[in-house]
Structure 1
Amino acid sequence: MTFFMPLLIFVSICLIAPTTFAANLLFKSNFGKGVVLNAPTAFSTNSAWQPLTGTDSETGYSWPVAALGSDLSAVQLITVDPITPDTIGNYITNVIRSITGPKGTAVNELFQNVKIKAPVGTGGSQAPLMIKRPSALGDVNDLYITYWFKYPTDFPSKLDNTVSAGNWRAQFEFKTGGYNSNNSVGDYRLVINILKGADGALYWRTSGDNQANAPWPRIEYWAEENHAVSVPVGKWFKFEVYWHRSSGSDGRIWAAVDGQEIVDYYGPNMGDYNLPITRIFVNNAYSGGYATVESHSTGLEIWDGFPCGIGKSCYSITPAATKN
């Protein structure tokens, strides 16, 4: 007699729980209903401010950014010529408006537009989206910022590599000190720029220096260029930046575009006087090239650490978070 043993097939189902990282969502805004970009105010000879106020109905977070102790979250308007409330619009206009967003659906964006600036090779007018905070609150030791951004299709033609200093455009900065926040000028600046090379190609350059509105000669402490990761033009891209501040080798500056690292620098990132970060320039319509200088941004998030894993991009991951 032949016995047939049943074939037993065991299927192992592995349930993987979401990984939780030690990062907290501090702020999120899509410039949704409830957020107001106020009319220009606090005029001086060559500048004014447009504060962002109100609660974003889509996220529940309010401007200014309380989690960072911001006493002003605004677009700063800096002009090459003296301006008044009647003439500022000739130089710079900023607006929150509905557009087609990164996912192909309607979203609100913050549109910053510098229309008149200094000649090519000089910066002049600019419109940074700034989070300003008093130095008495201490430093921002660990922070991750991400947002969606878009450059217009004609952006490369606005940078001129045949004119000295006519080939750059700002993307992101932070600075210490300044604005009489501690009766001291700043001692450290992080800056991420886009440059046009001699070959006409755009590339990323990240550096740390002492140019935070200080009177002393410029010292560049470190710099890294990235020619491998392309600069997206005419389409939305996800920008991410993280820092850990330190005067030692554990200091870190990391940034990525559409999930691709453009810099991962380890080393000191403090100034001579260890001053705290007082100004975060989320983005800046600022360039040595030709006008107009435009910024399109939406989907701003701020976390107190990497939300998708240490040194990992959130480009293809949506981190879970509870509102803080």
Structure 2
Amino acid sequence: MKSLQKLTYLPLMIPVILLLLCACGKDDIGSTFIVETETEAETETEVEIDVDQSGTPPPTAPGREANLLFKSGFEGVSLTETMYDYQYIVGKDTETGYYWPPTILGSANASEPSGIHNINDDNGAAIDNALEVVTGPNGNETTTLFQRVNYDVQVTQAPYQINDIQENPDELYIAYWMKTDASSVQGIDKWRAIWEYKTANYASYSNGFRMIAFMATDIRGNPYWMLQGDVSPQNPIWQVRNTQIPLILGEWFKVEYHIKWSNGDDGYASMKVNGQLIGEHHGVTTYNNDNLDFIMLTQVYGSNYPMYQWVDDVEIWDGVPE
């Protein structure tokens, strides 16, 4: 199997708002990719490099079956009002038996519980969260997590954060179904983040690590997916773009993330959409051995508003399920 990906590195002087615009560089992952450079006149040079890639991720460790850590389709649970910038999903999922919030990797901490973090929400006016019954990915009525950012105040966003993680995973697999609006990633130079995690020292922008997934368009309006590991928004360690698998807007799709935690060459990260490999990276999934702090299980954050989405059927495993 061959895929077409774009790998880019961004110099430190490029501001955050240009993160998804221009790039140059190379990476060590096996793939078909384009090295792209752009000038201030918005010209570019593209070099296609074909490298065979199976698209098959490293298996879970031999002799060890993956264990289900959390599963929920939001049936029977409830959503609280905003308290100290958070809204909490609480209760037992009546179909799966799992309780919200997820308590993976030692995250069950009453002083910093997991929930939807309404960041710069203009006293609630900029963000809407709800449990909403809609037609789901299989055509049946289902309860979903609906989230909308109506406008931006200052990096307004609404991630569901699994907070205060106490243990680094050996391996982690996260999957769910989502459906975005049809317009927020249309046009020139638009982007939205859909998933992230950060380590304890990421806020220093020098000693921590973030992994983040995007849906985006470039300065010509061409759409792409992107998976990135960085020490700051302006300083990616590695970055993978896929321009060959179309963005899915206004329709349900399944997204999967597979992580093997490492500060070295034996680390691994991949992203799939509807079973198709968006991109993968062999190498670091943290930086300076910094510990995992929190996971943005879902994220609503970008450059074009209003922006909204539905999420259903969340699963978290300690390896890739068979």
Task: Report if TM-score (shorter chain) is over 0.5.
Answer: yes
Cα separation, 2, equivalents of 1:234 and 1:293: 11
Q: Secondary structure, in 3 states, of the residue corresponding to 1:68?
A: helix
Q: Aligned to 2:200, which of 164, 177, 189?
A: 177
Contact 1:186 1:211 in 2 (8 A): no
Is the contact between residue 145 and residue 300 of structure 1 (CA under 8 Å) also seen in structure 2?
Answer: yes
Q: What aligned pairs does 1:61-76 form with structure 2 within 5 A after superposition?
A: 61-70=98-107, 71=109, 72-76=113-117
Partner of 1:267: 283
Instruction: Give 1:186 deviation, angstroms.
Output: 6.5
Paired with 1:67 and 1:248, the residues of 2 have a C-alpha distance of 24
Pick one of 66, 85, 97 that aligns with 1:60. Answer: 97
CA distance in 2, matches of 1:169, 1:65: 25
Identical aligned pairs, as a percentage?
A: 32
Q: Which structure: larger Rg?
A: 1
Over the aligned positions, Cα root-mean-square deviation in angstroms equals 2.3
- Structure 2 CA distance for partners of 1:303 and 1:227, relative to 1, 3 Å: same
Distance of aligned partners of 1:186 and 1:94 in 2 relative to their CA distance in 1, 3 Å threshold: farther
Q: Which residue of 2 aligns with 1:133?
A: 164
- Identify the residue that residue 256 of structure 1 maps to in structure 2: 272
Does the aligned pair in 1 maintain the 2:259–2:285 contact within 8 Å?
Answer: no
1:153 deviates by: 2.2
Aligned to 1:226: 242
User: Using the alignment, how far apart are the partners of 1:26 and 1:156 within structure 2?
Assistant: 32
Give, in angstroms, the shift of residue 185 of structure 1: 9.1
The match for 1:204 is: 225
Partner amino acid for 1:130?
Answer: Q
Superposition deviation, residue 129 in structure 1 = 1.2
In the alignment, the residues of structure 2 paired with residue 275 and residue 154 of structure 1 have an alpha-carbon distance, to the nearest angstrom, of: 37
Q: Is the 1:140–1:276 Cα contact (8 Å) retained in structure 2? A: no
Structure 1: 5+ residue stretches without partners: 1-19, 43-47, 162-166, 213-217, 309-324
Q: Distance in 2 between matches of 1:209 and 1:63?
A: 30
Secondary structure, counterpart of 2:185 in structure 1 = helix
Instruction: Structure 2 unaligned segments of length 5 or more: list them.
Output: 1-62
Partner of residue 114 from structure 1, selected from 149, 159, 171: 149
In the alignment, which residue of structure 2 is the partner of 1:318? none
User: Structure 2 residue aligned with 1:285, among 300, 310, 315?
Assistant: 300
Native 8 Å contact 2:225 2:278 kept in 1: yes
8 Å contact from structure 1 (residues 29, 300) kept in 2: yes
Measure the CA separation in 1 of the matches of 2:155 and 2:235.
22
Which amino acid counterpart does residue 151 of structure 1 have in structure 2? Answer: T
Alignment partner of 1:296 out of 300, 303, 310: 310
Distance 2:167 2:138 in 1: 38
One-letter amino acid matched to 1:106:
E
Q: Deviations over 1:29-60 (max 9, x none)?
A: 10111x12111001xxxxx0001211111100
Aligned AA (2:175): T
Residue equivalent to 2:34: none
1:28 equivalenced with 2:65 (yes/no): no
Flag the 1:156–1:168 CA change in 2: closer, same or farther, 3 A: closer
Distance 1:247 1:69 in 2: 21
What residue is the counterpart of 1:17 in the other structure?
none
- Per the alignment, residue 133 of structure 2 pairs with 98
Paired AA for residue 175 in structure 1 = K
Number of aligned residue pairs: 256
**Aligned mates of 2:313, 2:281 — CA distance in 1:** 26
The CA deviation string for residues 90-129 of structure 1, in whole angstroms up to 9 with x for no partner, is 11110001110000001111011111214xxxx6211011
**Does the aligned pair in 2 maintain the 1:21–1:306 contact within 8 Å?**
no
Mapped pair 1:190 → 2:211: yes
Secondary structure of 1:210's match?
A: strand
CA distance in 2: counterparts of 1:177 and 1:232, whole angstroms: 33
What amino acid maps onto 1:62 in structure 2?
Answer: Y
Give the conservation status (yes or no) of the 8 Å contact 2:224–2:246.
Answer: yes
Match of 2:37?
none
Does the Cα contact within 8 Å between 1:177 and 1:185 map onto a contact in 2?
A: no
Does the 8 Å CA contact 2:196/2:296 hold for their aligned counterparts?
yes
CA 1:275 to 1:179, structure 2 compared with 1: closer, same or farther past 3 Å?
closer
Question: Residue 284 of structure 2 aligns to a residue in which SS?
Answer: coil
Assess if the C-alpha contact under 8 Å between 1:21 and 1:307 holds in 2: no
Q: CA deviation at 1:269?
A: 2.0
- Give the structure 1 partner of residue 252 of structure 2: 236
Give the counterpart letter for 1:50 in structure 2: Q
Output the amino acid matched with 1:303: W
Deviations 1:124-146 (A, max 9, x none): 21101111124xx2312310000
TM-score after normalising by structure 2? 0.74
Counterpart-to-counterpart distance in 2, 1:235 and 1:251 = 32
